[in-house]
Chain A
Amino acid sequence: MQQSDSQRIVITGVGLTAPGASSLDQFRANLLAGKSGITTLDLRYMGVHPAGICTFDETRYRKKRENKRGSRAGCISVYCANEALEDAGITFEEYDRSTTGVYLGLTEHGTVETENEVYNISKFDYNVDYWTHHHNPRTVLNNPAGEVTMNLGITGPHYTIGAACAAGNAALIQGAQMLRLGEVDFALCGGISECVGSFGIFASFKSQGALAEHPDPIRASRPFDMQRNGIVISEGGCVFTLERLDSALQRGAKIYGELAGYAMNSDARDFVLPYGPRQQQCMEMALKRAGMDAGDITIVNTHATGTRQGDVEECSAIRKTFAGCTSTYINNTKSSIGHAMGAAGVLELAGNLPSFTDHYVHPTINLDQLDPDCAMQGLVSGEPQKLARVDAVLNNSFGMLGINSVVVVKSFVAG
């Protein structure tokens, strides 16, 4: 059934920072060129490891003192939100700040700030008199979204969605739901991660045997490859401007794509191990909501992080969901930028949105020797694949505690 234009949700602006790119154009160019954004990071207690670091103009939209006061996640959020507004051409003459919502997905928040403060008081014999008064405002879970509202004077609702590495997609879904309900008229939604600042996150993956190691950092993130040995941790952010189609058309907005369908579900079985059958159900549910068959999807953008079991589970789910779909292509963005955790889903979706206009499927890189258990028909590796057209992108994003999210975005067609 065709939805009314007031129920159709479109993406009209993209603001992002990823390892190696601080705009969508730059990001897309890197992905098509098969260029990795991964470098190394020398982190307290951890030493040197491959990691994805974002370099962007941190004082473009707020002063250095505000960056010092806030969190790294807040700094990334403010940059991405402003870039998205600029890209969408929104000046808040079109929408009221009081009916604008800010919904940001986070894998975690506060770990970096807490570790830094414990380190700080360690230099004062653990005397808590030296613990900063900035700790609470920096670590409350709404922090990154709240920093955006303060920066932009947005007085509508703001909060964050804690959804492990499915968080970016979850926030996108939340924004769409709030627009459909009429709770807000305009939404800034996306995902943010500052996790490269936390030795604990690196150490935990290492203890789990899931932290990528490679002498050459640009080769460290290698989903589906026989030599893969874990996750490359990255920071990053991506914020979309989301609008109801009728409002977007009324103001003559540029439309990147239409949110056709989405789904979220839970494995309900393990703290860290993913579960293919539930991922398959999630993809099927998203397709059903989108009113699409699997064969209608042009690109499946995988979640695969480069862990042994995780990649195999997802590939199995994709093989079953897309069996016989000869015009569906599959790629992986983490091979170029690592795993940006809460930002991953939306960053990876953003990296594929230009496919609707340039008709390329960006490649998976570092795939030198395909793991037979990860073989999938249509897997694009090494070089970009040029197609006659791209109609729809299905984006997978899964996380710990068995959280699965799938978003389907289709090329915008009026009518």
Chain B
Amino acid sequence: MTREEIKDVILEIIEDIDEEAEFDNLDADAPLRDQLDLDSMDFLDIVMELRKRYQLQIPEDEYPELATLTSCVNYLEPKLKDA
């Protein structure tokens, strides 16, 4: 998957959690939780959805890698390169 495709997947998962999520002014380098109405349970939903879709096992100590949209893409890019 390309970086752009990974970004789209993340946004699609967030939209599935909260269909009212607004992405127009999203700062890709700022924490997602500060900009969107997401809490810890939603965050675990993102982790679970990545596991279901791509069989990705993300260790708990690596969750901070998913803090921003850019860090998500950076972290997932090597893991999803063949997806």
Question: A63's closest neighbor in chain B, by CB?
Answer: B20
Contacting pair B41 A133 (CB below 8 A):
yes
Contacting pair A130 B41 (CB below 8 A):
no
Interface positions of A from 109 to 156, Cβ below 8 Å from B: 124, 129-130, 132-134, 137
Q: Which residues of chain B come closer than 8 Å to A69, judged between CB atoms?
A: 41
A125 CB → nearest B CB, Å:
11
Question: B52's closest neighbor in chain A, by CB?
Answer: A130
Binary contact track A51-63/B, C-beta < 8 Å → 1, others 0: 0000000000001
Count of A interface residues, CB-CB < 8 Å? 12
Q: Which residues of chain B come closer than 8 Å to A133, judged between CB atoms?
A: 41, 44-45, 48
A106 CB → nearest B CB, Å:
23
Interface positions of B from 24 to 81, Cβ below 8 Å from A: 41, 44-45, 48, 51-52, 57
Interface size band for B? 10 to 19
Is B82 part of the contact surface with A, judged by Cβ < 8 Å? no
Known: A69-B41, A129-B57, A133-B41. A64 touches B48 (CB 8 A): no
Q: Which residues of chain A come closer than 8 Å to B19, judged between CB atoms?
A: 64-65
Q: Which residues of chain A come closer than 8 Å to B17, judged between CB atoms?
A: 65, 68
The DSSP consensus for interface residues of chain A is helix
Docked Cα-Cα span, A4 to B51, in Å, equals 62
Question: A133's closest neighbor in chain B, by CB?
Answer: B44
Docked Cα-Cα span, A69 to B39, in Å, equals 12
Docked Cα-Cα span, A155 to B41, in Å, equals 22
B40 CB → nearest A CB, Å:
9
A337 CB → nearest B CB, Å:
32
Contacting pair A65 B51 (CB below 8 A):
no
Is B18 part of the contact surface with A, judged by Cβ < 8 Å? yes
Q: Which residues of chain A come closer than 8 Å to B20, judged between CB atoms?
A: 63, 65
Contacting pair A130 B44 (CB below 8 A):
no
Q: Which residues of chain B come closer than 8 Å to A63, judged between CB atoms?
A: 18, 20
Docked Cα-Cα span, A134 to B45, in Å, equals 9
Docked Cα-Cα span, A68 to B49, in Å, equals 15
Contacting pair A132 B48 (CB below 8 A):
yes
Docked Cα-Cα span, A64 to B21, in Å, equals 12
Docked Cα-Cα span, A133 to B51, in Å, equals 13
Contacting pair B41 A129 (CB below 8 A):
no
Q: Which residues of chain A come closer than 8 Å to B18, judged between CB atoms?
A: 63, 65
Docked Cα-Cα span, A68 to B51, in Å, equals 19
Docked Cα-Cα span, A385 to B65, in Å, equals 69
Question: B21's closest neighbor in chain A, by CB?
Answer: A65
Q: Which residues of chain B come closer than 8 Å to A129, judged between CB atoms?
A: 51, 57
Binary contact track A63-79/B, C-beta < 8 Å → 1, others 0: 11100110000000000
Q: Which residues of chain A come closer than 8 Å to B52, judged between CB atoms?
A: 124, 130
B38 CB → nearest A CB, Å:
10
A132 CB → nearest B CB, Å:
7
A182 CB → nearest B CB, Å:
36
Contacting pair A134 B41 (CB below 8 A):
yes
A150 CB → nearest B CB, Å:
12
18 contacts between A and B (CB under 8 A): A63-B18, A63-B20, A64-B19, A65-B17, A65-B18, A68-B17, A124-B52, A129-B51, A129-B57, A130-B48, A130-B51, A130-B52, A132-B48, A133-B41, A133-B45, A133-B48, A134-B41, A137-B41
